[in-house]
Every structure is written in structure tokens, then in C-alpha cells.
Amino acid sequence: MLTVYSDRHTLHHAHAEPFGGTVVEPFECPQRAEYVLARLREVGLGPVNTPADHGLEPILRVHDAGYVQFLQTVWADWTAAGFSGQVTPSVWPGRTMPFRRPSSHIEARVGYHALCGETGIVEGTWEAAYWSAQAALTALDAVLAGDRAAFALCRPPGHHAPKDQYGGYCFLNNAAIAAQAALDRGAQRVAVLDVDFHHGNGTQEIFYDRSDVLFLSLHGTPDQAYPYFMGWEDETGSGDGAGFTANYPLPAGTPYSVWKQALEQALDRIRDYAPDLLVISLGLDTYEQDPISFFKLTAADYLDYGGLLAGLTLPTLFVMEGGYAVEDLGINTVNVLQGFETVA
Ligand code: OKP
Ligand code: ZN
């Protein structure tokens, strides 16, 4: 299986993350991708290519131009205001403010585009996010050209980003950008299955009122897990998209036996939908040792469900999302891909 990877991800390295009343080293760190890369080289998964530049156009099919421009200039604007460290939101448009008039001040624009406060932006964040999206688009090229599957080793991740907000470590929604690009290049229907521990709120929101993308997510229940305000079972789509979103919220402590039952339900939905392409938002934070999550999957479980995904016999694009037990992230990620290849 082809992997697409850009070393420019290292340009995005936030310095700090607010966490439970203290400040910690960011969980979403450059070493994550290095562990995955090392493991797939160790097992000889296949070639590793650098992304081709598809430009801004496919990004702008999903994200607002004003938001993209904000990401491109936010660091310069932040430092021009005399600020330093990392871009950090400190004010949001209040939910009950009657006017919420747009302000040109950098603090206002940061708060306007920030979903939440844990995600720092540094000088190279835009460049890293841009090449992360390009990695997804380049892996998609391989699948559209006939590869059974390809792996976009994206960093930063993307599934929390809707069309004009960043947060949850995400800036550009790599999976959504690839899904939209596949449609723009002739696919009729795309299924996006999000197996990251966290609900893919950004992807859900982007496709919520559309029937050409079926979005499914298995995740920690909003009562207990970020992003808290989305991911309930009764969110099933609206308008033309009614019935084309499926959420499987699961409680703390969920073991693979239970998670797998939800996965089988999601796979049945995908079979019925008969998409031309399957995009997997591949997060490995369902792992029993993940420091910020609470499912109980083991390394062997990743091999197993990789095989179940292959059982759909669909062209499949894997897009890297989360996973924070850094030292085991390579093994767990590559286990999914190897489990897939064993059955494919
Ligand atoms: C990104 B991905 C909770 C603060 C927010 C953000 C988690 C983002 C996960 N105390 N934590 O889906 O793996
Ligand atoms: Zn996650």
C-alpha cells in the first residue's frame, strides 16, 4: 500500500496545551508521524511518496476563502500585534451577544475561527496543514488511478474542522477535502467512516445536508468526551442529507467486543449505500493506553478491524487522524493497514 507523507508536518509544533487546569506538552506532537513512518518502513508496507501540489482549489471546495486566508496570515498578524508564543484564543463571540459584529482585531478573528482553546498555532502551522491536505489528495490520486487502497499519513489531523473553524488539533479537514475531490472527479457517492475516538464533528457538519456523502462515526459519547456538543445518535442528517449521517456514541471503558458490534452496524450501512469510495478517518486513540481517551482496544484489535474494513471490497483511502500513545502509534496504525491487506 502506498503511503503519502510530507516532512513539513514538523513545521507545526505547538508549545503548550491547556489541560485540566494545568498546561502540558501538546498531545498532538511531531513524533506521532515519525513513529508511524518508522513502523511502516520496518514492516515494508510499501512506497512512501511526498505529496504532489494540488493547489488551493480542492481546499476551497470545503473551506471558506476567508478562513483559509485567516490561516495563511494569522501568525504574521499575531506577531504584528506584539504577541508571541503561539496563537491562543482568549475571547469568543458570546452566545447571547445580540450583534456579534465582526471586528478586524486579531484577537477577535482568532476567537471567531477557534472552535476551542487547546490548539496552538505557530509560524509553520499553515504550511504543515496545507501539505497535510495535499497528502490526502495525493493518496486519493492513487486510489482513483486504481490502487485498492492508499494511506495519507496526515499531520495535523482534520476531522474536527468544519468549513471555517479550527480546533481539536485540526485546521483543514483532510478527509472531507479528499471526499469532495473524489466527487468532483466523478465519484457519485463517498462514505466517510470515522473510527477516531473523537466524534468527527467537522466532517459531519460539512456534509450534513447532503446525500452524496454518507458520514458515520464511532466515538466516545458526548456526555463524556470531546467535542461534547455533537455526536449524538439522533443526529442523522438534514434536508437532502436526512438519513446520511450515522453516529455510534459509546461509553467509557468500551472494549473491542462492543466497539466491533457498532462497527459491523456501520459497515452494513456502508454496504447498503454502495459508495464508489470509502474514506477512513483513521484515529488510533481508541487504544487502551491512549492518554486522553477511554476505549479499550488492543494492538491485535487493529489487525482484526483492518480486515473487516477490507471485507467491504471498496476502493479505500485511509486518512490519519488522532492517536496519542505515541510510542505504540506506529504499531497500531500499521496493524490496521496490514490487517486490511491480509484480507484485501
Ligand atoms: C483530536 B483528534 C479536552 C480538551 C480538548 C481535544 C482533543 C482533540 C482530539 N479536555 N481535547 O480527534 O484525535
Ligand atoms: Zn481523536
Render each residue's pLDDT in the chain as its tens digit; 344 residues: 999 999 999 999 999 999 999 999 999 999 999 999 999 999 999 999 999 999 999 999 999 999 999 999 999 999 999 999 999 999 999 999 999 988 999 999 999 999 999 999 999 999 999 999 999 999 999 999 999 999 999 999 999 999 999 999 999 999 999 999 999 999 999 999 999 999 999 999 999 999 999 999 999 999 999 999 999 999 999 999 999 999 999 999 999 999 999 999 999 999 999 999 999 999 999 999 999 999 999 999 999 999 999 999 999 999 999 999 999 999 999 999 999 999 98
User: Does any domain span residue 155?
Assistant: yes
Expressed in percent and rounded to 5, the helix, strand and coil fractions of the chain are 40, 15, 45
pTM over 0.90: yes
User: Does any domain span residue 111?
Assistant: no
Is there an atom of ligand 1 within 6 Å of 202 CB? no
How far does the centroid of ligand 2 lie from the alpha carbon of residue 114, in Å? 17
User: Does any domain span residue 217?
Assistant: yes
Q: Give how many domains the chain has, as a whole number.
A: 1
3-state SS class at 4 = strand
Ligand 1 pocket, mutate which of 226, 293, 321, 333 (most atoms under 8 A from CB): 226
Range of the domain at 302: 2-58+122-343
Ligand nearest to the CA of 295: 2
* 196: amino acid identity, one letter: D
Question: What pLDDT was estimated at residue 102?
Answer: 86
How far does the centroid of ligand 2 lie from the alpha carbon of residue 194, in Å? 10
User: Does any domain span residue 20?
Assistant: yes
Give the angle subtended at the CA of 177 by the CAs of 181 and 297, to the nearest 5°: 120
Question: What pLDDT was estimated at residue 235?
Answer: 99
User: Does any domain span residue 329?
Assistant: yes
Is there an atom of ligand 1 within 6 Å of 168 CB? yes
Question: What pLDDT was estimated at residue 140?
Answer: 99
The interface predicted TM-score (ipTM) is 0.97
How far does the centroid of ligand 1 lie from the alpha carbon of residue 220, in Å? 11
Is there an atom of ligand 1 within 6 Å of 194 CB? no
Question: What pLDDT was estimated at residue 64?
Answer: 98
Among residues 12, 113, 160, 198, the one annotated as catalytic is 160
- Can you point out the beta strands (E) in 187-343? 190-194, 213-220, 245-250, 277-282, 316-320
The count of other CB atoms within 10 Å of the CB of residue 40 is: 22
How far does the centroid of ligand 2 lie from the alpha carbon of residue 220, in Å? 9
CATH assignment at residue 215: 3.40.800.20
User: Does any domain span residue 140?
Assistant: yes
Q: Examine the residue annotation and report whether 160 is marked as an active-site residue of this protein.
A: yes
